[in-house]
């Protein structure tokens, strides 16, 4: 009795096995990033609890609300890109990836503009009140992760345009989707945290 094995199925299964460790590393990175921001917000709480004079003493700029809306919308477009890739609608996948990248760039612009708003209110990175310095640390650290997310989005888009195998295309989309949605949730956490502590 001869068992026929598809020659295309074996490489696909092999690809899936080779990609699993990378997915595990992504989840590990997400967890360590969350722990970093949990430590930063805990440090802020400990510092401000020492004295009422150590509060932020400023109202958060409206631009934070706009950037929150933008990053939540980008999570929707990222989800649509992943769903389009899964159902082999590659034109829509490309469109939604481009939209996600543009929204990510807009988020970066809004965050940088928020620093200008801080300066206009007399809030500087170096000042006697470290709680105000935390504003720059929170937003700056998050912005660095957004840059990393944008690189992942560009990599996923480039793979789509180069017609890479569907297994790798879906893997790139899944990995990028995990990280991008995490960044959206992380920003929502920071925004609510700062609203409660302004």
Calculate mean pLDDT across residues 97-118: 96
Find, among 82, 84, 83, 78, the residue nearest to 99 by Cα: 78
Find, among 107, 121, 2, 21, the residue nearest to 64 by Cα: 107
Which of 8-17, 27-36, 73-82 is least confident?
8-17
- The DSSP secondary structure of 126-189, one letter per residue, reads SSS-HHHHHHHHHHHHHHHHHHHHHHHHHHHHHHHHTT--HHHHHHHHHHHHHHHHHHHHHHHH
Residue found by looking up tokens 């879906």 in the block: 170
Confidence of residue 12 (pLDDT cuts 50, 70, 90): low
For the chain, the structural domain boundaries read 59-197
Query: Is 187 within 8 Å of 142 (Cβ atoms)?
Result: yes
Q: What is the sign, positive or negative, of the torsion defined by CA atoms of 78, 100, 107, 171?
A: positive
Between 124 and 27, residue with greater pLDDT: 27
pLDDT in tens, 55-65: 677 778 899 99
59-197 has which fold? 1.20.120
Query: CA-to-CA distance for 120 and 135, rounded, in angstroms?
Result: 14
Query: CA-to-CA distance for 32 and 135, rounded, in angstroms?
Result: 21
């Amino acid at each position: 009795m001869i068992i026929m094995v598809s020659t295309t199925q074996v490489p696909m299964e092999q690809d899936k096995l080779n990609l699993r460790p990378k997915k595990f590393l992504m989840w590990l990175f997400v967890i360590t990033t969350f722990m970093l921001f949990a430590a930063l917000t805990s440090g802020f709480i400990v510092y401000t609890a020492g004295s009422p004079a150590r509060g932020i003493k400023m109202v958060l700029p409206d631009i934070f609300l706009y950037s929150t809306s933008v990053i939540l919308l980008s999570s929707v477009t990222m989800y649509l890109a992943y769903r389009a890739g899964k159902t082999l609608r590659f034109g829509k996948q490309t469109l939604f990836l481009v939209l996600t990248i543009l929204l990510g760039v807009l988020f970066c612009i809004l965050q940088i503009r928020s620093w200008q708003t801080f300066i206009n209110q007399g809030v500087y990175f170096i000042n006697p009140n470290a709680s105000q310095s935390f504003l720059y640390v929170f937003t700056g650290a998050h912005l660095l992760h957004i840059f990393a997310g944008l690189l992942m989005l560009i990599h996923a888009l480039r793979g789509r345009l180069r017609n890479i195998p569907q297994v790798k295309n879906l893997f790139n989309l899944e990995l990028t989707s995990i990280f991008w949605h995490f960044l959206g949730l992380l920003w929502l956490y920071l925004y609510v945290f700062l609203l409660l502590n302004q």
